[in-house]
Structure 1
Amino acid sequence: MKILERIFGNYEGESVIEYTLVNDYGMEISCLNYGCVITKIIVPDRLGKFENVVLGFENFEDYTELSPYFGAVCGRVAGRIKGASFELDGREYRLADNNYPNHLHGGKKGFNSVMWTTEIIEEDNAVGLKFFYHSSDGEEGYPGNLDTTVTYFLNNKNELDISYESKTDQKTLVNLTNHSYFNLSGNLKRDVSEHILKLESDHFLELNEELIPTGKLMDSRNTPFDFNHGKRLLSGINSSFPQNVLVGKGYDHPLVFSQEGENTVILSDEESGRSLLITTDQPCVVLYTGNFIEGPYSIAGVRAENYLGVALETQGFPDAIHQPEFPSVILNPEEVYQSRTVYRFFANTVGD
């Protein structure tokens, strides 16, 4: 196992480094010390062909100018916060309204667009990186000095293990996720509409016109949101179901896991034979089918089109601070925020 380094760009006078983690079986994960951005994940298909299965750019400037959070860690709070404000202990805090009139993924300069201090980790059967960031009291409107560590580990089981830890000196909000867009076809040969998703979830969060949870848990049964037995993403993209139409024909919804504790998500592409098994300790996964990726730019040489990637953002419930029934995302000074999600890649061999 090994770790490679190269200079990828420059941001505010600092060198942006791309680190590439390589295991003994040829799997590679490349990531930046800017936003903890995952730029590439190289894994084999059923024929043993290694290709990239996430959306990312070849040039650093594209991440600062064009990126819809490709591969980045989102925080302090992932998702939208209604009205770009919240109240804690009787005091109102105003946040950046970067998704006017709401707050999105930590603000104008969230965790996705800052430089992180990096430490290399090398073990017998794993290599990894620890990323550190100090978010000062008042940054993007949030209270408290928040120290966050994000750890990426690659092992010989073809697993990417991502863990998060945060500590604060004042009551604040924390809800972190990684915003990678997956496309298991390899090198963006096809869109993700034929990808099959499977997870145990009986409810999803209803969204309003501003794509913020209304507080209502919707029953998934007999809807395009029932993935208990596996369903192609196309079923939601082509659906006339109001919640699918609302988000631009597709999905941009928190799917609530049926059980507490550890849960799994399986994404698969029949043609390439690749599958991704996600295991998480978070209560929901936000499924986003890239409904608004289309634009006058390219992604690794491929024209940006809708549905070119699917994000599976494991996290706490979005806008939980405004919904008392949702699991809390408040972090107190005496507590430690911790979460972990593992991404395991595998492929069915010929004849399976």
Structure 2
Amino acid sequence: MQGWKAAVLGACTVAAAVGEASRAPFGTLPDGRPVEEVTLSNGTLTARIIAWGAALRALHVPDRDGHAADVVLGYADLASYLDKPNYFGASVGRYANRIRDGRFSLDGKTYTLATNDGPNSLHGGKEGFDKKLWTIAHLEGGATPSVTLSYVSPDGEEGYPGTLTARVTYTLSAPDTLRIEYTATTDKPTVVNLTNHSYFNLAGEGSSRSVLDQRVLIPAEQYTPVDATQIPTGERAPVAGTPFDFRAPEVIDARIRDGRDVQIVRAHGYDQNFVLADAPTDALHLAGRVEDPASGRVLEVATTAPGVQFYTGNMLDATAVGKSGLVYRQSDGLALEPELFPDTPNQPAFGSARLDPGGTFRNVITYRFSTLAPTDRTVR
């Protein structure tokens, strides 16, 4: 695991003149607005980002034999993103994850949000940032191709105070690394929590294999248990002795069916926030590592966020048809979402999600890919 830190800090050398960035039509919204797709390529990785939801639609990554496959879930057409969003690859906000009862208070005033997950608000509400058309603000080729997209959320949208200007930049920052940086500013006090909601399957999204035989490492000593509505109780519980201990690589399938643990039962699998730090950090730290012994692909996720939500696609129900023409079923993808803790605006012990005028929200995420040794093809 030692290689991840050097890579994300820029120690890798990027060959010049191999990077490409281009844009093309992807579809048209019912109101007539065109949606574009940007393709970034550096000779090793190819990423495709659509302006609808500023979403990572595809990410082609080589396996141990050099064969590339698309390792994120998504759709072939815009209509599917509108019909069954599922947050595939989306930039989610204004507040990623859940807020209890769709309410929070700021400076003595209570704000009521749109609820879309039982009694709670999830990923920004009924029409969060994943369901907005972002503007392609800047496109750059060269050795580190990138695209920056922006979205201005008006004061009161989905119940949130303040006009929020959000930006996300996708960069192929090294031959093996996709870097995502979220920033946001506001004109009045508000709360904000932006992240990316890509579902990964290192076997390939069209492989017909689930992620259950893939290995996960999450370097967290604690996680935040939730109640029956998936809202944190406020406790930071130790992972030791529980199905949530991923401090050493563990096959997902080993404990995902542990019916003795109420957290597994409530979430229908893994859907928990893991504690990486007490607060956002300036430097990147490891959030998780995923290994697919069959293909040899390895993903290392680093971030500046204090938490990471590990989700095993529990609600995928075979009604969404993916890019390869296959239906996506439960556990066909996993998400590692670096972010502030769920319900932080209502839980002071979790820190602060507040953003004031003059300040800048920032969340940096890197996805670094490598491969296992040819001899490591077994699930352990």
Q: Which residue of 2 aligns with 1:60?
A: 78
| 1:332 CA displacement | 1.1
**Structure 2 residue ranges without an equivalent (≥5):** 1-18
Q: Quickly say closer, same or farther: Cα 1:346–1:199, change in 2 above 3 A.
A: same
- How many angstroms apart in 2 are the aligned matches of 1:266 and 1:154? 19
Work out the CA distance in 1 between the residues paired with 2:205 and 2:356.
43
Q: Secondary structure at the match of 1:328?
A: coil
| Gap change, CA 1:188 and 1:123, over 3 Å in 2 | closer
Secondary structure class of the residue paired with 1:216: coil
- Alpha-carbon deviation of 1:120? 3.5
Q: Which residue of 1 aligns with 2:237?
A: 218
| Structure 2 counterparts to residues 5-24 of structure 1, below 5 A | 5-11=23-29, 12-24=31-43
After superposition, the C-alpha distances for 1:298-340 in whole angstroms (9 at most, x for unaligned) are 2221122100000110000010011110021011113111110
Kindly report which structure 2 residues correspond to 1:1-352, keeping only aligned pairs within 5 A, or say none: 1-11=19-29, 12-25=31-44, 27-122=45-140, 124-189=142-207, 190-240=209-259, 241-248=261-268, 250-257=269-276, 261=281, 262-264=284-286, 265-300=288-323, 301-348=325-372, 350-351=374-375
Cα separation, 2, equivalents of 1:266 and 1:302? 26
Q: Provide the secondary structure at the position in 1 that maps to 2:242.
A: coil
Equivalents in 2 of 1:149, 1:345: separation in Å? 25
Identity %: 37
| 1:98 Cα deviation after fit | 1.5
Q: Secondary structure, in 3 states, of the residue corresponding to 2:158? A: helix
CA distance in 2 between partners of 1:108 and 1:238 (Å): 31
Contact kept, 8 Å, 1:143 with 1:172, in 2: the verdict is yes
Q: Residue 188 of structure 2 aligns to which amino acid in structure 1?
A: Q
Rounded to whole Å, the distance in 1 between the matches of 2:39 and 2:111 is: 39
Q: What CA distance in whole angstroms lies between the structure 2 residues aligned with 1:342 and 1:297?
A: 27
Q: 2:320, 2:142 → 1: CA distance?
A: 41
**Mean Cα displacement is larger for which, 106-115 or 116-125?**
116-125
2:214–2:290 CA contact under 8 A, matched in 1: yes
Deviation at 1:199, TM superposition (A): 2.3
Could you list the runs of 5+ residues in structure 1 that have no partner in the other structure?
A: none
Larger relative strand fraction: 1
d(CA) in 1 for partners of 2:34, 2:187: 30
- Equivalent-residue separation in structure 2 for 1:183 and 1:309 (angstroms): 5
Counterpart AA for 2:258: S
| Alpha-carbon distance between aligned partners in 2 of 1:297 and 1:149, rounded to the nearest angstrom | 29
- Please state whether the residue corresponding to 1:244 is helix, strand or coil: helix
Aligned pair in 2 of structure 1 residues 156, 322: CA closer, same or farther (>3 Å)? Answer: closer
1:102 Cα deviation after fit = 1.1
CA distance in 2, matches of 1:177, 1:155: 18
Structure 2 SS opposite 1:214? coil
Alignment partners' CA distance in 1, 2:227 and 2:163: 32
SS at match of 2:317: coil
SS in structure 2 at match of 1:245: helix
Q: Return the alpha-carbon distance in structure 2 between the equivalents of residues 199 and 175 of structure 1.
A: 21
Say whether the 8 Å CA contact 1:202–1:258 is kept in structure 2. no
1:161 to 1:242, Cα distance in 2 relative to 1, 3 A: same
- How many Å separate the matches in 1 of 2:243 and 2:278? 20
Q: Partners of 1:313 and 1:319 in 2: how far apart?
A: 15
Give 1:111 shift.
Answer: 0.7
TM-score normalised by structure 1 residue count: 0.96
Deviations 1:59-88 (A, max 9, x none): 211111112100000001001111111111
Give the aligned length. Answer: 350
